Amino acid sequence: MLEVKSSLPVPVGVMINCIPNTESVETGERFAFTTLPMSYNNTPHTLFEADTTSSEDLEWRQQYREYTAENLSTHNVLPVQGMPYVFVHENHPIIALLRANSDVVGTKVDESAKIDGEWFKVSKQVVDTCCNVLQSKVLTKMNCQDLNQMQVQLKRLDAKEWTDIGDVLTEYMDDHEDSSIFDRPCSFHARLELTYEIPH
């Protein structure tokens, strides 16, 4: 966070869906960061930094960077209409998982015939199981986020509705007879800097 300015007459908590909410408040809620009423801060502050040094994270980014939690079951997986199997590309992480667990599966995936020299025929049930394992054991521990889906939400820290001005009226509103803090124009500006990596 490079800069934040709020003319709102109440303290505000900010939630950003692609980073953890690590700042706690009295109500027990957690936020990415909080601001005081009618305040300005231009001191840079790091809200979150992903750990990219874990061996699983590094290995996944080197070998399977095009696969995400959202596309794991569809990218390089060819469905066959009305059939209980799909074709999975030989470089898909599902194939690596099957290869590493051949003793559990009871068969060696590399001994199976490939279609067009690069596609393995795999049952939908096995694909679903492998995807669930990779999601829970690997992808949930990785710091991958789709920034196209980034959302920022503001919330009052006192757990009150935006229209409930209570003491705000006398303390911050210069004795105006407003029924809502939105009856008086307010603004909130935050300038954030993101460093990210785009998977190939």
Q: Identify the domain containing residue 137 by its residue range.
A: 55-141
Residues across the chain? 200
pLDDT digits (tens, 9 = 90+) for 122-135: 999 999 999 999 98
Predicted confidence band of residue 120 (pLDDT cuts 50, 70, 90)? very high
Residue 196 lies in a domain: no
Assign 174 a pLDDT band (cuts: 50, 70, 90).
Answer: low
Q: Are 82 and 118 members of one domain?
A: yes
Are 162 and 175 in the same domain?
Answer: yes
37: left (phi over 0), alpha (psi -120 to 50) or beta: beta
Is 154 found in the same domain as 130? no
User: Is it the case that residue 175 has pLDDT exceeding 50?
Assistant: no
Q: Is the pTM of this model over 0.85?
A: no
Considering the domain boundaries, does residue 117 fall inside one? yes
Backbone phi and psi for residue 96, each to the nearest 5 degrees, phi listed first: -65, -40
For residue 152 the two structure tokens come to 């920022």
Residue 199 inside a domain? The answer is no
pLDDT in tens, 58-92: 777 788 888 888 899 999 999 999 999 999 999 99
- Amino acid occupying residue 108: K
Q: Is 79 found in the same domain as 127?
A: yes
Count: domains in the chain: 2
Distance CA 179, CA 156 (A): 17
Question: Is the domain of 82 the same as that of 109?
Answer: yes
Question: 52 vs 66, which has greater pLDDT?
Answer: 66
Gap between the Cα atoms of 78 and 138, Å rounded: 23
* Residue 15 sits in the same domain as residue 86: no
| Shared-domain flag, residues 177 and 125 | no
Asked whether residue 120 falls in the same domain as residue 173, the answer is no
- 118 and 184 share one domain: no
Q: Are residues 79 and 131 in the same domain?
A: yes
* 63 shares its domain with 77: yes
Same domain, 69 and 118: yes
In a domain, 198, yes or no: no
| Residue 128 counted as domain residue | yes
pLDDT bin (cut points 50, 70, 90) of residue 143 is: low
Distances (CA, A) of 187 to 1, 12, 58: 17, 12, 41
Alpha carbons 200 and 181: distance in angstroms, whole number: 47
